[in-house]
């Protein structure tokens, strides 16, 4: 009987215990700077220990796009993933709300840069143009292109230029745009759009801020309801860690820029990265135009459910 009671006690404790190993992903670009700081300063480990969770092991992965991140989350190879609004909203819909965002990472414009001098607006694109972005049709960059196209040609033609898009990681797209390749455009985020515009052969066609007329959330961290409900203390520790990283960035901008360059093993100009960190990389609130994306996805039939407001997309312990 005593052994039976001990067994019950053991399994009860095991069922209540939170994860001791955490796998979280980030992507390329300055929008993920809070995650880079959290990784390099081991802030999640610190916050988890302070919450009484002991020594948590945090493993980091870097993906090239939101589709890969979603696959990792669905397969169980990652506990939390990060990426753009578009792939997140699609997965929220696909799982009937069983996947939600834990926090937003930043607000930043999605910028279309071209090296084709003839392309001043979308109406100038031809079959000879090729536009690089992280994932065809499903990335936030692809969605911004569709929204801009719908605004210019009508919503029935929203996917008019999808056939011109090519899937490339941001670093590869930046390199391709700077060389003589088939790539004539890149829809990206900081710092890649800024780097591309340093080249006088390149020019900006539009930014998402131009299209929406206001800033918007760009990147988020999301996870499954199963993880969130089974690991409430760890989820809060993660939110607290990212908030701490954000506060550190705001008071250590030069160091944050150096940390980004070192962590990313980047050869980007230090003065440019420092300038972007000083002037950009803003944390955004969940309310900042995030439903513009979900509304459009619903209108075009890409998702079946339309969130009534931003709160439907986030867990209760949402980061600022």
Helices (H) and strands (E) in the chain, counts: 14, 10
**d(Cα 83, Cα 140) in Å, to the nearest integer?**
9
If asked whether residues 223 and 167 sit together in one domain, one would say no
Range of the domain at 259: 20-107+217-313
Number of domains in the chain: 2
Of the residues 147, 177, 212, the one at which a domain ends: 212
Closest CA to 304 of 147, 138, 89, 88: 89
Q: Quote the mean pLDDT of the chain.
A: 90
Please report whether residue 1 resides in a domain. Answer: no
Report yes or no on 278 lying in a domain.
yes
Checking if the pLDDT of 10 tops 50, the result is no
Q: Looking at the structure, tell me whether residues 192 and 58 fall in a common domain.
A: no
Same domain, 57 and 94: yes
9, 33, 98: which is closest to 263 by C-alpha?
33
In a domain, 236, yes or no: yes
Q: Report if residue 234 sits inside a domain.
A: yes
Among the ranges given (279-288, 296-305, 308-317), the one the predictor scored with the smallest mean pLDDT: 279-288
If asked whether residues 93 and 145 sit together in one domain, one would say: no
Indicate whether 116 and 205 sit together in one domain: yes
Q: Per the domain annotation, does 171 fall within a domain?
A: yes
pLDDT higher for 259 or 5?
A: 259
Domain boundary, last residue among 169, 187, 212: 212
- pTM listed for this prediction: 0.86
- Indicate if 184 and 145 belong to the same structural domain: yes
Q: Indicate the Cα dihedral angle 304, 156, 112, 283, nearest 10°.
A: -30
- Whether 187 is covered by a domain: the verdict is yes
222 and 89, same structural domain?
Answer: yes
For residue 8, what pLDDT band results from cuts at 50, 70 and 90? very low
Which domain CATH number covers 116? Answer: 3.40.190.10
What does the block give as tokens for 316? 């209760």
Q: Which residues contact 280 (CB under 8 A, 6 or more apart)?
A: 30, 108, 190
Same domain, 115 and 207: yes
Among 212, 228, 253, identify where a domain stops: 212
Structure confidence by residue, pLDDT tens digits, 243-266: 999 999 999 999 999 999 998 777
Instruction: Say yes or no: 92 and 147 in one domain.
Output: no
Residues 100 and 59 in one domain: yes
The separation between the first and the last C-alpha atoms of the chain, rounded to the nearest angstrom, is 50
Q: Are residues 154 and 297 in the same domain?
A: no
Answer yes or no: is 6 within a domain: no
> Over the stretch 130-163, which tens digit does the pLDDT of each residue have?
999 999 999 999 999 999 999 999 999 999 999 9
Instruction: Let me know how long the chain is.
Output: 320
Locus of tokens 């993906």? 63
- Non-local CB neighbours of 199 within 8 Å, separated by 6+ positions: 115, 178
């Amino acid at each position: 009987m005593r052994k039976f009671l001990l067994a019950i006690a053991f399994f009860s404790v095991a069922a209540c215990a939170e994860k001791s190993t955490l796998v979280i992903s980030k992507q390329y670009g300055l929008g993920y700077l809070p995650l880079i700081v959290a990784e390099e300063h081991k802030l999640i480990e610190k916050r988890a220990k302070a919450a009484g969770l002991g020594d948590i092991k945090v493993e980091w992965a870097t993906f090239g796009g939101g589709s890969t991140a979603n696959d990792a989350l669905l397969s169980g190879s990652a506990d939390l993933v990060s990426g753009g609004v578009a792939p997140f909203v699609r997965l929220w819909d696909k799982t009937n709300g069983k996947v939600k965002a834990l926090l937003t990472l930043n607000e930043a414009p999605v910028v279309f840069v071209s090296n084709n001098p003839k392309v001043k607006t979308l109406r100038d694109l031809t079959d000879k143009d090729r536009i690089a972005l992280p994932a065809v049709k499903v990335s936030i960059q692809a969605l911004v292109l569709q929204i801009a196209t719908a605004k210019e040609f009508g919503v029935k033609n929203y996917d008019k230029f999808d056939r011109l898009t090519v899937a490339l990681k941001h670093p590869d797209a930046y390199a391709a745009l700077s060389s003589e390749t088939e790539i004539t455009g890149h829809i990206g985020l900081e710092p890649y759009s800024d780097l591309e515009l340093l080249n006088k052969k390149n020019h900006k066609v539009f930014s998402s801020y131009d299209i929406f007329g206001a800033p918007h959330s760009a990147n988020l961290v999301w996870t499954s309801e199963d993880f969130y409900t089974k690991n409430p203390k760890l989820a809060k520790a993660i939110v607290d860690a990212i908030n701490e990283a954000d506060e550190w960035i705001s008071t250590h901008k030069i160091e944050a820029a150096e940390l980004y360059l070192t962590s990313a093993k980047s050869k980007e100009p230090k003065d440019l990265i420092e300038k972007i960190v000083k002037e950009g990389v803003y944390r955004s609130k969940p309310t900042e135009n995030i439903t513009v994306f979900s509304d459009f996805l619903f209108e075009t039939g890409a998702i079946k459910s339309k969130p009534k407001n931003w709160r439907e997309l986030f867990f209760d312990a949402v980061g600022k």
